[in-house]
Amino acid sequence: MKWITREDNNLDFAIKSSYFPVTKRALKREVIAQFESENNIDENIVQTLTEEVRAIIEKDFAQFAKDDAKDIRNRLSRGETYNQVYAKYLSDDYFDKWYHSFSKKINITLQNYTR
């Protein structure tokens, strides 16, 4: 865990593996710029990719929150208890479903830049 959260390792791993960085610092423009210059990476590609990934994150989180809120309101209005309703959203299965959907969108975007 320490290795992947080190700034230089995290950004290198994220770019080479097409995974999203695990630290906020790895997304900062100055950190990316330094990594680009040290590793001869085209700044325009990284900037465009970062913007596209951020757009996916914003859209994905917003849509999931909207859909979940609607489902929660509907279920509560039908008389289900909070515990019954929230059990779905707190489960590992639900997280895994969201994570795989989200990862797929990010990986498709990243693959467009690695071809």
pLDDT tens digits for range 48-81:
677 777 788 888 888 888 999 999 999 999 999 9
Find the length of the chain: 115
Into how many domains does the chain fold?
2
Q: Are residues 28 and 58 in the same domain?
A: no
Q: Are residues 32 and 53 in the same domain?
A: no
In which domain, by residue range, is 114 found?
A: 43-115
Q: Are residues 47 and 74 in the same domain?
A: yes
Q: Are residues 35 and 79 in the same domain?
A: no
Q: Are residues 12 and 47 in the same domain?
A: no
Asked if residues 46 and 56 have their Cβ atoms less than 8 Å apart, the reply is no
Q: Are residues 52 and 97 in the same domain?
A: yes
What is the rounded average pLDDT for all residues in the chain?
A: 76
Cα–Cα distance, 90 to 86 (Å, whole number): 6
Instruction: Find the angle CA(58)-CA(25)-CA(59) to the nearest 5 degrees.
Output: 5
103 pLDDT band, cuts 50/70/90, is: confident
